[in-house]
Homo-oligomer: A and B are copies of this chain.
């Protein structure tokens, strides 16, 4: 999902009913705007680094997607909203033509946010009309692409959160992106006993990859067989407190815990703690989307990269899970339950759960796996520009699973494959330990 890429393999439209699709279209598009409710136009221009994009760009690019792949193809007398937008708001689709360099997205204050909002509104109206008026055959053709566009937009909703956090995280005044919800309860301290629980799974010849009806990205298939040994996963993700123990035990100074690349990264950057942690007068704080907050030991750890995750696992005499192990384990949980993106709510990892089974299975933080992101046997990207979504990033990235507190509810499932390079830290990425049995 790095850079919000998508590509669907929806054999049949998930929602053939126009009204349902229209309602869903409006809902998703509105949720995007809701995320920006407390940001000012000047905030929306910030680009913290090449990998992150300004909020304004996300607002425009998600609209560009519908214009480029739906309106242009299905409208009767298509004229572009603005000729230059095709160039300015393309992300990386080579087949679509040239594009504005990614690292310079923060240099464009024009078109203004107000113009981008008008662009969104125009696209929304035309999509509304399209969904309502296409004849049945054309609608059947368009519906899966619309569905794809909505999942694409949900991916960008998560990036809006993590990209503005990366930008605000550089500002010494620690700006607040989302006001803390008024009803945010003081959370009780979690018992540490909860953290000593392992859940076992049986190995053997498993089928992995998406199966069934409903939307999924092309990289989740084809369904195929993999042989696994017996394994166990930890009942909860790693907490801040556990990671503090690693730090205090010299984890960042012990080469033997680290991959060679990871050790170089630690030394080059003089890294000594997760991203967004601040030690102020002897106390630890976390920068969050709600501003600077005290770091609680019993919260679930986030914003570590794969090098840190693997070093922690080495220190804990465990390992990271394999992609297929997590997929099999996640099948036993409900992908609709968990801490997901809740505009107006708390967008930061909550306390480590004390459930039975796999606690915090979906949501809260993405779990790093040890599995490089590679094509499944028989995988073929789609023809044309849409085929550029997933396959072309299958190099030097690792799979993450399960979704985070910034993922829209309903967006993930057990077979969902998110991916980021091993040194990425600005997503809500955490650690779920695994071990052989």
A133-141, A255-263, A296-304, A342-350: which lies at the interface? A255-263
Is the C-beta of A193 less than 8 angstroms from some C-beta in chain B?
Answer: no
A95 CB contact (under 8 Å) in B256, B307, B371: B256
Q: Which residues of B contact A172 (CB under 8 A)?
A: 84, 87-88, 100
Question: How many Å lie between the Cα of A395 and that of B423 in the bound state?
Answer: 11
Chain A residues proximal to chain B, CB less than 8 Å? 40-46, 48, 56, 84, 87-88, 92, 94-95, 100, 104, 106-113, 167-168, 170-173, 175, 205, 224-227, 229, 255-256, 258-263, 307, 370-372, 374-375, 377-378, 387-388, 392-396, 422, 436
Q: Is A395 a contact partner of B171 (Cβ separation < 8 A)? A: no
Knowing A227-B227, A378-B436 are in contact, say whether A107-B255 is a contact too (CB < 8 A).
no
Q: State whether A396 touches B393 (Cβ < 8 A).
A: no
The 21 listed contacts between A and B (C-beta, < 8 Å) are: A42-B45, A42-B113, A43-B109, A87-B172, A106-B106, A107-B170, A107-B171, A110-B168, A110-B175, A111-B173, A256-B387, A259-B393, A259-B394, A260-B392, A261-B395, A261-B396, A263-B392, A370-B374, A371-B374, A372-B372, A395-B422
Residues of B within 8 A of A111 (CB): 173
Number of copies: 4
- A171 touches which one: B110, B171, B225 (CB < 8 A)? B110
Contact status A107-B259, CB under 8 Å: no
Q: Flag if B107 contacts A258 (CB, 8 Å).
A: no
Whether A108 pairs with B171 at a CB distance below 8 angstroms is yes
Contact of A171 with B259 in the complex, beta carbons under 8 Å: no
Contact between B109 and A171, CB atoms less than 8 A apart:
yes
How far apart are the CA atoms of A321 and B358 in the complex, in Å? 36
A205 / chain B contacts, CB cutoff of 8 Å? 205, 227
A374 CB contacts on chain B under 8 angstroms:
370-372
Report the separation of the CA atoms of residues A226 and B396 in the bound assembly, to the nearest whole angstrom. Answer: 22
The 4 closest A-B pairs by CB, nearest first: A372-B372, A94-B255, A42-B109, A260-B392
Expressed in whole angstroms, the minimum distance between the Cβ of A221 and any Cβ of chain B is 14
Whether A92 contacts B260 in the complex (CB less than 8 A), given A84-B173, A108-B171, A111-B173, comes out as: yes
A88–B175 CA distance with the chains assembled, in angstroms: 14
Return the chain B residue nearest A384 by Cβ: B256
State the Cβ distance, A369 to closest chain B Cβ, in Å.
Answer: 10
Most buried by B among A172, A307, A396: A396
Q: A84 — which chain B residues lie within 8 A by C-beta?
A: 172-173
| A390 → chain B closest CB, angstroms | 11
Of all chain B residues, the one with the shortest Cβ separation from A254 is: B94
- Nearest residue (CB) in B for A44 is B42
